[in-house]
Structure 1
Amino acid sequence: MGVKSPAFLGERLRHLREDRGLSQAALARRLGISASYLNQIERDQRPLSAAVALRINAVLGVDLRVVSHEEEGRLIADLREALADAGVGPEITTADLQDLASTRPALGQALLALHRRARAATERAEVLSAWGDGRGEGTVPLPLAGGAPLLMPYDEVRDFFYDRHNHIAELDDAAERLYLDGRLVLEARSVGLERLLRDDHGVRVRPLDAAEVAPGLLRRFDPASRVLGLAPGLNEGQRQFQMAAQLAFLEHAGLLARLIEAPLLGSAPARALARIGLAAYFAGAVVLPYGAFLEAAERLRYDIELLGEAFGVGFETVCHRLSTLQRPGAPGVPFIFVRVDRAGNISKRQSATDFHFSRVGGTCPLWTVYEAFAQPGRVLTQIARMPDGRAYLWIARTVTHRQGGFRAPGKTFAIGLGCDLHQAGRLVYARGLDLGDPEVATPIGAGCKVCERADCPQRAFPPAGRTVLVDENRRRFEPYAAL
């Protein structure tokens, strides 16, 4: 997919400027151009020249053309899913979607909004129908007044983090200031965090008693007694993370409140969920401060297990933090991070790239993330190619979370970390792989309902908009264009 023409980058430039709190006049001064010229660029009345694009990269730390390319890829993937969900067949090609996303992105977003409204209306009708025939007994119908939210809260939060390329600069800066100001020392984070909570916020940290521990409970804060209880059995890195998360709520409540007022968080549940996610982001940034962690990641060639040993944290924590290292002027490898269970449910998903997680039709069974369950504890690698030609290097491994004693159920997940293939040479996991051989890549897709690979032997069902001819000799789906 080609890079978007510079003539259509005005909206993105305006968004970046406003996100950094700059007026047109202030940014124009930094770029060395007139405010009227910048105004014309933002309104797409003047093309963005290569010289100005380079200045923007130097001033804002962002290659505007690459950023727009990534957003274009996400829009294409969302449109493809919407069409599949609506049962539209293969007559709408990838080239058609690329043209729409590149030249009329606002129209593409409007089509997505219409699809979400239609889907919400269908869901309301199904619930009301269930109530009408008695199947809805014991449930609460979706309200007619005001309508249903166009996106589920977690989708709103996902889009919020996508919009920021999974990097929250304000929280990273706040976390690093703890070290720069001498309030924390990397080698003694636990002691330092307990001291900060006690001296600055009057909070005492203690372990929870066995009787106080509920399934899944990691910490409990009592604002009346100013006591933070931590679940027994947490390792040192987990204790640090939980203390840092509580510190975010106590010390940066105002910053969290400002961040969740973003337009993409349109519902109260989404804002509440985003607040928790942002506190967790801050905690990760405290335990793994940006500068020190990025330096170690580059020096160790992104070896996840060596990074875990160096900072005293687990495999999943390292992977999650690696997916956030997109500071302007000092970026790490742009990663995709995902956590799935044995049933294929995706419980965590973050991306600093244009890789898209399907909301319909599940994910691809050929993805190495699922193979990790068959080889627990081993780090697996895969070069995977999507239907649009983009190739990625994926790393996958299982992790197990367990609380309680004998017979207490544990939770096993597969963690996946991926990056664009052109970045793979920076990773230790590329050793021994022929990154230039197209035959090495495994063809995968975002999910069977949206995947264009009609000849895949692992299809669960044919693509949306196609009928199926069952071939008894080949014993698999044989998709044909609908008559």
Structure 2
Amino acid sequence: MAKSFMGVRVQRLREERGLSQVALARQLGISASYLNQIERNQRPLTLAIQLRINAQFDIDLQAFSDSDEAHLIADVRDVLAEAGMEALSMAEARALVSNTPSVARAMIELHRRNRATAERADTLAARLGDGHKLASFALPGVHDEVRDYLNQRYNHIAELDEPAEAIFNDSGMAVGDVGTKLAQRLAERHQVQVALWRGDDAARQGARAFDPATRTLRLPDHLRPGQQAFQMAVQLAHLELSSTLDRLIRDGGFSSAESMRLARIGLANYFAGALVMPYQAFLQSAEDLGYDIERLSNRFGVGFEAVCHRLSTLQRPGAPGLPFFFVRVDRAGNVSKRHSAADFHFSRVGGTCPLWIVYEAFSQPERVLTQIAGMPDGRHYFWIARQVVSGPVGFGRPQKTFAVGLGCDLRHARRLIYSRGLDLSNPSAATPIGVGCKVCERHACPQRASPSLVER
């Protein structure tokens, strides 16, 4: 394992607990001089001592993990590059993040607020210039705030995952057939009846609508049984876990009413996925099937995208799945979903890389594509991607088309069925990609779309 020098974090732990070096050293069973060397980054924070800290103070070991550093380092370098400042070297960025992670996060948050303010000013100027009346609109950046909240929790919300699994078991639900018991629970406990919209009304009304006056949950008729169950589970989250959602949103420290609204939607959807694909049963199936997404989709009665999203949330302490990253894009390159349970960096500026396999999925519908991707920092990842289509069926009824990607660190690729027959140890087999043209260090890339903000 790489050595972890995290002296400032240990000092911060002492300050928060009001402990002297001698007192903390005594609790950890080490000498005060040894602790002093750790705090001064003269000695690494070993795994054994991290485990003692966890036992003494019940602190998540990920607080002392290097995995979060990769996100912060890349974000800090992105922020400085976009601001037109001299780019930090990797060594400088790592030193900043390792020693003062709170300062690094503050820099990123200040940049996010500045960018949101600038975008809001541009929008106001455009509206006033065109002679339109000033209307209310969502503050730019709220989606990033919700995504950051989920990513900081490694895309795993135990407060929702565990109740979802308990409801699945207590209600006698069966894998792949959750809808029947869900409809029964909604009717018996909440007097809610489920009805289907027919024809074009379903397309106009969206995926789900609840009428509290008639206690009716209306769903589009084009949804498959697993999708219907998902939407019923979303409604169940609002009915049975409202106080939990309130607490998570309150503790999340969201900056606006719009970000809190989006967070509530995201958390309710998280619960729904955890109920339709309960943790232990889903993880065991994933391991048994070599993470074959199409077979998992068939077993649990849900779509390809839903399975990919659920795979990116399996980070329960003591029983984790593979640390996946999940992304969804449209043909124009807009990223509408991105979640990371590990250290892959989705750039905040400059779009994404056109050499990324996720964009190739649009040209080969129905096929699952694979890619070994090499990043400028030397890290290698394994990606799978496929096009997905959703929406009403029938001639002349518009549908939504996306491509979804699921990735993991290359060292985990052998556990995936998709890596069979690939030479995972051959560096030349990797496609050199970046996080986005504006912040990519590959200046000679033939696919470059705009000049890099990062100096040579």
TM > 0.5 fold call: yes
Give the match for residue 215 of structure 1: 204
Q: Find out whether 1:140 has 2:134 as its counterpart.
A: yes
Q: Which runs of 5+ in 1 are unaligned?
A: 467-480
Corresponding residue SS for 1:205: strand
Corresponding position of 2:111:
115
The farther-off stretch of 326-335 and 104-113 is: 104-113
C-alpha displacement of 1:117: 4.4
Question: In 2, Cα distance between the equivalents of 1:444 and 1:415?
Answer: 17
Greater shift, 322-331 or 218-227, is seen at: 218-227
The aligned counterpart of 1:69 is 66
Aligned counterpart, 1:318: 307
Separation in structure 1 between the aligned mates of residue 443 and residue 224 of structure 2, nearest angstrom: 47
Deviation at 1:356, TM superposition (A): 1.5
Letter in 2 for 1:115: H
How many residues align? The count is 444
CA distance in 2, matches of 1:369, 1:136: 37
Residue identity (%): 52
* Unpaired stretches in structure 2, ≥5 consecutive residues: none
Distance, in Å, in 2 between the alignment partners of 1:71 and 1:407 is 46
Q: 1:355 and 1:361 mapped to 2: Cα distance? A: 16
Q: Distance in 2 between the 1:44 and 1:435 partners?
A: 39
Deviation, 1:230, is 1.1
The change in CA–CA distance for 1:262 and 1:44 in structure 2 (over 3 A counts) is farther
The answer to whether the aligner puts 1:384 opposite 2:378 as a matched pair is no
In structure 1, the partner of 2:97 is 101
Shift of residue 210, structure 1, vs aligned partner: 3.0
Q: Distance in 2 between matches of 1:424 and 1:273?
A: 33
Aligned position for 1:477: none
Q: Residue type matched to 1:97 in 2?
A: A
Give the C-alpha shift of residue 45 in structure 1. Answer: 8.3
Structure 2 residue aligned with 1:85:
82
Q: Which residue of 2 aligns with 1:169?
A: 158
Contact 2:76/2:108 (CA < 8 Å) preserved in 1?
A: yes
Task: Evaluate the alpha carbon distance shift between residue 324 and residue 121 of structure 1 in structure 2; reply closer, same or farther with a 3 A threshold.
Answer: closer
Partner of 1:256: 245
SS in 2 for 1:414: strand
Alpha carbons 1:9, 1:68 under 8 Å: kept: no
Shift of 1:465: 5.8
CA distance in 2, matches of 1:289, 1:268: 31
Separation in 1 of the partners of 2:389 and 2:232? 22
The alignment partner of 2:182 has SS state of helix
Give 1:442-457 correspondences, 5 Å limit: 442-457=431-446
CA distance in 2 between counterparts of 1:376 and 1:219 reads: 28
Match of 2:4 in 1: 4
Q: Counterpart of 1:441?
A: 430
Q: Deviations over 1:109-141 (max 9, x none)?
A: 23324433443454455456557xx51521538
Following superposition of structure 1 onto structure 2, how do residues 275-286 of structure 1 map, counting pairs within 5 Å?
A: 275-286=264-275
Distance apart, 1:3 and its partner CA = 5.1
Aligned twin of 1:372: 361
The equivalent residue for 2:450 is 461
1:244 paired to 2:233: yes
Is 2:368–2:385's contact at 8 Å kept on the other side of the alignment? yes
| SS of match in other structure, 2:187 | helix
Contact 1:339 1:413 in 2 (8 A): yes
Choose which of 50, 53, 66 in structure 1 pairs with 2:50: 53
Counterpart amino acid of residue 53 in structure 1: Q
Q: Give the secondary-structure state (helix, strand or coil) at the position aligned to 1:349.
A: strand
Distance 1:289 1:465, change over 3 A: closer
Please show how residues 191-340 of structure 1 align to structure 2 within 5 Å.
191-210=180-199, 212-215=201-204, 217-340=206-329
Write the letter of the residue equivalent to 2:4: K
Alpha carbons of 1:33 and 1:457: their partners in 2 closer, same or farther (altered >3 Å)?
same
**Matched residues in 1 for 2:293 and 2:257: separation?**
36
Name 1:473's counterpart in structure 2. Answer: none
CA shift, 1:56, in A, is 5.3
Q: Give the AA of the match of 1:87.
A: G
Q: In 2, Cα distance between the equivalents of 1:79 and 1:127?
A: 26
Q: CA-atom RMSD, angstroms?
A: 3.3
User: In the alignment, does 2:417 pair up with 1:428?
Assistant: yes
**In 2, distance between residues paired with 1:3 and 1:347?**
36
